[in-house]
């Protein structure tokens, strides 16, 4: 069965600092991988996704993630945090044969200090 | 990008009543729609998957008679919480995917519906 683990339920960084949110997955086949952001009382917005091809994926708002098969990881990074990045971030995995069903990690709340 | 709407955005109801939540794909045909439930400070929990014109597939532990899902068209799915009780209070989020039209089955999420049962 697939699973997703996000290390750290809460991450706090200073404005301008590097953002690193960790995600590890388990899957019997190479999965599709996603990062979503959720602002309070809102739905999910896709930041980026890995499906095939280049393992370094660039997304919106300056975020990027690298698929590392050997480490079963898909960590999310941003070189310089902005106050508006404060939100909940979810990593998700989809088994290519499961009709698109997503398995979500527990989420990481990102706080950005001025 | 693909847009998914939900209505209502929030609803308050009395215990024992039923509440219907609509999920619409506004600019694409959604062959598959998903319904999630999210408790405060927690992740999304998949409740069920519905395909247009067929019965929904419920996840283990989700009561199909309590959470009625209808996916009557390629742009509309509804979730009805029957005989709601305070423990059903939650944030309900739907998503839609284009099925075969999208080889990666990307899901597009609605803005969510906050249900409070008194």
Q: How far is CA B49 from the centre of its chain?
A: 9
Non-local CB neighbours of B86 within 8 Å, separated by 6+ positions: B15, B117, B118
Non-local CB neighbours of A35 within 8 Å, separated by 6+ positions: A21, A23, A46, A47, A48, A49, A59, A63, A65, A74, A76, A89, A90, A91, A92
CB pair distance less than 8 Å for A102 and B6: no
As a whole number of angstroms, the distance between CA A43 and CA A86 comes to 15
Residues of A within 8 A of B41 (CB-CB) are 109
Q: Tell whether the model's pLDDT for residue A1 goes beyond 80.
A: no
Of A107, A98, A114, nearest to A21 (Cα)? A107
CA closest to A34 among chain B residues? B106
Burial class of residue A110 (count of CB atoms within 10 Å of its CB; 0-12, 13-18, 19+): buried
pLDDT interval class at A114 (50, 70, 90): very high
Q: CB distance from A99 to chain B under 8 Å?
A: yes
Non-local CB neighbours of A25 within 8 Å, separated by 6+ positions: A2, A3, A4, A5, A31, A33, A72, A73, A74, A91, A93
pLDDT at residue B104, as a whole number: 67
Residues of A within 8 A of B34 (CB-CB) are 100-102
CB pair distance less than 8 Å for A43 and B105: no
- Residues of chain B below pLDDT 70: 1, 99-104
Q: What is the pLDDT of residues A18-37, one digit of tens each?
A: 999 999 999 877 788 999 99
pLDDT at residue B41, as a whole number: 84
Q: Tell whether the model's pLDDT for residue A53 goes beyond 90.
A: no
pLDDT at residue A74, as a whole number: 96
Q: What is the pLDDT of residues A61-71, one digit of tens each?
A: 999 999 999 99
As a whole number of angstroms, the distance between CA B37 and CA B113 comes to 10
Residues of B within 8 A of A90 (CB-CB) are 43-44
Least Cα separation, residue A104 to chain B (angstroms): 7
CA distances (Å), origin B104, targets A45, A52, B23, B44, B108: 17, 10, 21, 20, 12
pLDDT at residue B1, as a whole number: 67
């Amino acid at each position: 069965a697939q699973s997703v683990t996000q290390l750290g339920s809460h991450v706090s960084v200073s404005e301008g600092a590097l953002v690193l949110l960790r995600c590890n997955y388990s899957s019997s086949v190479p999965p599709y991988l996603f990062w979503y952001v959720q602002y309070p009382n809102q739905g999910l917005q896709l930041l980026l996704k890995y499906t095939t091809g280049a393992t370094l994926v660039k997304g919106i708002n300056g975020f990027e993630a690298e698929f590392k098969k050997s480490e079963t990881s898909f960590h999310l990074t941003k070189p310089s945090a902005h106050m508006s990045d404060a939100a909940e971030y979810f990593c998700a995995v989809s088994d290519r044969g499961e009709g698109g069903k997503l398995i979500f990690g527990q989420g990481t709340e990102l706080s950005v200090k001025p | 990008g693909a847009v998914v709407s939900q209505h209502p955005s929030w609803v308050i109801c009395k215990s024992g009543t039923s509440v219907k939540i609509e999920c619409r794909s506004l600019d694409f045909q959604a062959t598959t729609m998903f319904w999630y439930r999210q408790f405060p400070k927690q992740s999304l929990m998949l409740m069920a998957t519905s395909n247009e014109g067929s019965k929904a597939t419920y996840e283990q532990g989700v009561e199909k008679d309590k959470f009625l899902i209808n996916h009557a068209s390629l742009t509309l799915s509804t979730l009805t919480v029957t005989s709601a009780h305070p423990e059903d209070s939650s944030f309900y989020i739907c998503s839609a995917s284009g099925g075969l039209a999208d080889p990666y089955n990307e899901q597009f999420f609605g803005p969510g519906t906050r249900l409070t049962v008194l």
